[in-house]
Structure 1
């Protein structure tokens, strides 16, 4: 629609002060003439003002305007929470009905904005602010949001909107939900020390009577094993004690079953927020290591230097300098030696140690047989022992001949080989994490580039033991074994110190000994049978399966919805199989390959969309109040759309249901502009000249009238 628009404009020929001065001068002249009684004073004043007005350049500005349509913004929330029962159908019906009603309004346009899923939740406020900013303020007639009200960016809501904002609320009056809330959980915890997780189970919405039980059974498991059931009260914060039993990632899974209800369709909205997975990194406070050296020798300080260089290790080191059978004639009261506290170390406080190392230790009457038996029981119960043997292993003082022999992974043959040899990795050694990938282990032609050792004892390994390295004529050099819950490592040579001295180029002495020690203490990164998951992106995962077998997989992945899929693994190196995989959604995933199980948490177990699920328009209430908008529940039907004048009530309830309104803005844009002088220049000259002439004539006519009759006394002159 077009209509004209006329305005008076000025285009002065002189500065405004000069024009004002001329007008003032004209008024002064007119005033002076009035004071003198001149009859043409008014005409003189009008002539001056007309001249001033002509210099001001008055002109008529004639423009044409075109009316602009009003704009209504329709925000369609299609986030994950809108997939809950009936909400999708309600949103579809509301959007279709509003689209038809807005299309039927004259001079009105619709702007539809769809809000989808986002890693940060429902960003409805951000999309609303962006859509409002993109439209001219003078054309915005209203904003309508079809949503469940569960937005996660309330700080982004605009402070004010020049039109009413309405919310069409999805959901049902009977909606309710029960959710698990983790109030506090540590990011790490010390192994074998108690930590606490604070949580609560709460209800929201219209909870049916049969579900108001007052308590719920909570299921707890660590790394998917040994599930426990604990009854906890509803709505009250509780503290759950937990003890981590291994280093590295510990996944704590907490869940409860969906409550049972009598009527179908009256259950809780979703069970996606009934579980949570918490990743807690287990760390050791201090690694306590007992090192017992049977006698001083060239490699004794190798172990000491290794263990003392690690700030996380508390080392107790004893060297047997004077065994009981030694007779040197020195009185006992003149010796400066510390007595070996065998009772305290091997009977009373043996459980305090994470690892016991026997370095060239001989059975020479220092420890009674019961002590060796107690050490063996310590290993079978979960402890670790490492034996670094020398020639004594082949003699009558061998540890194998003590009660400790029942847990050693090899039987001595009674022979010591005194000849140079180069340690080599076996097939098992190339796969085992303790020796796999040792620097220099695979040189040109597959031969190691390490320096040679000069001595070793020969042994026969047990059938279940793993031989990782060999020496002379492929004799076992490094043997690893598991005994009960514990671990045993046997090194049949005391020559590893040659690598540290750089003999013939040396070798990875510290790395090898470090791996042996930490494998003995069950460090997760050195487990030979392990299932690892490295999360490289939001949902991108690299699975790594370490195994001593020739094949692995496929990996069975159980998704949060209970479905499963197989992920094939490909060989990535000796003893390692890997696969890259992308999860379909955040949540808790269970991995299985054979007897190995693992729980993987990608993002929160319950996405933000399902943390709070009962529809509620409270986050939008301040904006609705500021703009005069209202809330209409779609469970009662789609409201009618009306138009009202700005400042009037924009929502209400009629006999047939709710109604909402928009405010027409009647905005327009200028499409043409023409400027015409109020009078042409010659007309101004005629006007000014005519006024001056009229004033002169008025004054002249007055003079002739008074001169027609001679004045008295003129004849006498």
Structure 2
């Protein structure tokens, strides 16, 4: 590579002025008829050229090797039958054949698993962008064609792109597709999931029609089976029966096929788990106050402040036995709708609160029996008792007494005392961690009155008062729950008496535990999913110990995980799952289903090998798609613009295009002429012009003397 460069000694305008002056002198001499005008003009131009500093720039070049990019797809879908050996053989053969090409380098890019699937297009675009365009001779991708970032494919590639497709022509698969599933659902109301079971690939004739038995269970409970048609969208109705997370498991068994080609590619996409959070539409609470008292509005304010609670509140201002001579038609009070509330619509309520309620003949015995039946079938009762609990009008003496967790002794203690948590109370989620209750001495204010009771053997005493007498008793009756607070003095905390206490928090927890809120279950197994597959297990229990936790993996294997104490009634363990999928947890009688990542990873959503996503790029670059089930193709070289793939007698072939790129390795600059040569050239041109003019002058002087003679 040789070219002329200039290194001027003067500004270009000065050199241009000198060249123009030389041309003017030459032109003037021509006009005057001087014979040396050309030599003088050339001398001026030579001087201008010498001042411009012309030099020869001589560069040395070296040829560059061509680059071939080899994409090695090692994603999870490449582990399906025969694809691993096919990939290994093709990569090894292509590596060897590329190494045998003269002046050719290999760039091998391995594509692994990602949370978003196979990002082959992203890796391909990065690899092409990292190499000089003039050196890229070809791209070879060994893959099943299932990539999940097609938008990242480069718009064009300056070399042929070839796809060596893994898999077999007879591959087929059947998968479960969830088309629509809700994230939330109302308890005891129907939610729907839309799904379909579809076939892909070369489905054997004996299984390509008919129906499939779909299995369904919620939270690992009793499994239901129903027949659904193939390749048809169906709507599946579900009913959620509790608040919080509901894990819905849906799946079907792989079809049994007795053919040489074998069954479907994988059963990893035959099941899935959907997490639906159950929420209550509204919590319906019936509050019955037996008489007006200082703490009556405490319950009302608490429940009315919760936007999720529908509260119906009745206060009995005039009991039936009151005789004051006022005609009924002149009273502004409404009649207590006992028949409607406690017989006809009692099941509409999630919680019934009796606040200082006395048995005064308002409710017949059958009504109390119906309330007891309501609790046993899953309802909840909360009794906030005052002095009336110790008298003859006590609720315990009614038919409702059979479900109350304690028997009154008939004694009322009128003295200040500090409510304290029991050992059970420190474990129970209703009272555990109450603000101010840490340590041996709570920092709460005192209460002034309480009734004494004898708790039932199976009841849980969470708080005590005077001389460790039971203050808060919690119990389960059948499917329902009962809570008894033996004092009506909780309102003192709300008024700030002696510093007050966590009144609203305590009453809120009692009410929500009674309504079976999942976060307040005393026996619970919780799983907090953290980064990736990391999980923190929390076991909440009233027992002194828990565990080990039995974890059943998606492949059927089990792990035992020891739980470490983390406070009263709480045991935790940190664990990392080996892979995404559906895990079953078991500790004693507790069961739970945990879905980590998708039950069917994205890699297994589409499993039949297909190069359709890469087809446009392959066609535009002149490359080809070759199935490795037919063998590894031969590798050739062709000139740019020629067809880069084809078939021959010995099998298919693909080609790369040598680019013959080069780079400048050295650069040398030499003056066109040395300085003394320019001086000689300019002086020679000036001398030639002078001599030319001198000859003309000499010839003009001799002519007269030759013709002269004597006159």
TM superposition score normalised by structure 1? 0.93
Q: CA deviation at 1:39?
A: 5.6
Deviation at 1:711, TM superposition (A): 9.6
Question: Which residue, 288, 294, 304 being the options, matches 1:298?
Answer: 294
Cα distance in structure 2, aligned partners of 1:440 and 1:368: 43
Partners of 1:397 and 1:51 in 2: CA distance: 132
Query: 1:676, 1:438 → 2: CA distance?
Result: 92
Q: Does 1:552 align with 2:546?
A: yes
How far off its partner does 1:701 sit?
A: 4.7
Aligned match of 1:271 in 261, 267, 272? 267
SS in 2 for 1:98: helix
Aligned mate of 2:345, from 341, 344, 349: 349
Is residue 2:489 matched to residue 1:495?
A: yes
Superposed CA deviations along residues 215-274 of structure 1, whole A, max 9, x for unmatched, are 322211111112212222222222222222111111111112222211265222222222
Corresponding residue number in structure 1 for 2:240 = 244
* 1:697 Cα offset (Å): 4.1
- Structure 1 residue 326 corresponds to structure 2 residue 340: no
1:486 matched residue in structure 2 = 480
**Does the CA contact (< 8 Å) of 2:173 and 2:266 recur in 1?**
yes
Deviates more, 1:341-350 or 1:458-467: 458-467
Relative distance call for 1:616 and 1:716 in structure 2 (3 A) is: farther
2:170 touches 2:261 (CA, 8 Å); kept in 1? Answer: no
Q: Does 2:86 correspond to 1:90?
A: yes
What's the offset of the Cα at 1:98?
1.1
User: Residue 363 in 1 paired to residue 359 in 2?
Assistant: yes
Deviation per residue, 1:270-291 (Å, 9 max, x gap): 2222222121222222111100
Q: How does 1:77-476 map to 2 (within 5 A)?
A: 77-263=73-259, 266-443=262-439, 446-476=440-470
Kindly provide the CA deviation profile for residues 149-182 of structure 1, in whole angstroms up to 9, marking residues without a partner as x: 2222222222222222222221111122222222
Shift of 1:342: 0.9
Instruction: Say which SS state the counterpart of residue 226 (structure 1) adopts.
Output: coil
Cα distance 1:564–1:682, how it changes in 2: closer, same or farther (>3 A)? same
Q: Structure 1: which 5+ runs fail to align? A: none
How many residue pairs end up in the alignment? Answer: 711
Q: Aligned pair 1:513/2:507, yes or no?
A: yes
Q: CA deviation at 1:532?
A: 0.5
1:43, distance to aligned residue in structure 2 (A):
4.5
Unmatched 5+ stretches in structure 2: none
Q: Trace 1:593-604 onto structure 2 (pairs within 5 A).
A: 593-604=587-598
Structure 1 Cα separation of the partners of residues 434 and 584 of structure 2:
32
Change (3 A) 1:25 1:629: farther
Quick one: which of 518, 523, 526 aligns to 1:524? 518
Please list the CA deviations of residues 631-679 of structure 1 after superposition, one character each: whole Å capped at 9, or x if unmatched: 2221111111111222222222222222222222222222222222222
State the shift of 1:354 in Å: 0.7
Measured in 2, the distance between the counterparts of 1:335 and 1:701 equals 152
**8 A contact 1:432–1:548 mirrored in 2:** yes
Aligned-residue RMSD, C-alpha: 2.4
Shift of 1:356: 0.4
What SS does the corresponding residue of 2:275 show, helix, strand or coil?
strand
Kindly provide the CA deviation profile for residues 27-74 of structure 1, in whole angstroms up to 9, marking residues without a partner as x.
566566667766655545544444443333332222222222112121
Give the secondary-structure state (helix, strand or coil) at the position aligned to 2:458. coil
- Give the match for residue 8 of structure 1: 4
Instruction: For residue 269 of structure 1, give the secondary structure of its aligned residue in structure 2.
Output: coil
Query: Cα deviations across residues 496-542 of structure 1 (Å, max 9, x unaligned)?
Result: 22333333433322222111111100000110111101112221111
Structure 2: distance between partners of 1:689 and 1:649: 64
CA contact (8 A) 1:210 1:262 kept: no
**CA distance in structure 2 between the aligned counterparts of 1:420 and 1:38, rounded to whole angstroms:** 138
CA contact (8 A) 1:457 1:493 kept: yes
1:473 and 1:33 map into 2 onto residues whose CA distance is: 136
2:649 to 651, 655, 667: 655
CA 1:356–1:708 in structure 2 vs 1: closer, same or farther (change >3 Å)?
same
Displacement of 1:627 after TM fit? 2.5
Matched residue SS, 1:624: helix
Shift of 1:582: 1.0
Per-residue deviation, 1:385: 0.8
Aligned equivalent of 1:685:
679
- Structure 1 residues 79-115: Cα deviation after superposition (integer angstroms, max 9, x where no partner): 1111111111111111111111111111111121211
Q: 1:632 aligns with which of 626, 629, 654?
A: 626
Confirm or deny that 1:612 pairs with 2:612: no
Task: Report SS of the residue matched to 1:178.
Answer: strand
**Distance in 2 of aligned mates of 1:704 and 1:624:** 85
CA contact (8 A) 2:355 2:383 kept: yes
CA distance in 1: counterparts of 2:692 and 2:293, whole angstroms: 142
Give the secondary-structure state (helix, strand or coil) at the position aligned to 2:123: helix
Counterpart contact for 2:199–2:208, Cα < 8 Å: no
Q: How far 1:614 moved relative to its partner?
A: 1.7
Mapped partners of 1:451, 1:698: distance in 2: 130
Q: Deviations over 1:342-377 (max 9, x none)?
A: 111111211111100111111211112221121112
CA distance in 2, matches of 1:80, 1:114: 13
Partner of 2:158, secondary structure, is coil
Preserved contact between residue 428 and residue 468 of structure 1 (Cα < 8 Å)? yes
Q: Aligned pair in 2 of structure 1 residues 44, 479: CA closer, same or farther (>3 Å)?
A: same
Distance of aligned partners of 1:669 and 1:176 in 2 relative to their CA distance in 1, 3 Å threshold: same
Counterparts of 2:335 and 2:587 in 1: how far apart (Å)? 52
Relative to 1, partners in 2 of residues 1:438 and 1:703: Cα closer, same or farther, differing over 3 Å?
closer
2:570 aligned to which of 570, 573, 576: 576
- Aligned equivalents of 1:584, 1:56: Cα separation in 2: 76
Distance 1:512 1:695 in 2: 120
2-side partners of 1:576 and 1:712: how far apart?
141
The answer on whether the counterparts of 2:453 and 2:469 sit within 8 Å (CA) in structure 1 is yes
Q: Once structures 1 and 2 are overlaid, which stretch shifts more, 251-260 or 491-500?
A: 491-500
Shift of 1:199: 1.9
Normalised to the residue count of structure 2, the TM-score between the two structures is: 0.94
Show CA shifts across 1:184-217 (max 9, x none).
2222122222222222222222222222134322
Moved more, 108-117 or 513-522: 108-117
> Is 1:174–1:266's contact at 8 Å kept on the other side of the alignment?
no
Distance 1:511 1:34 in 2: 115
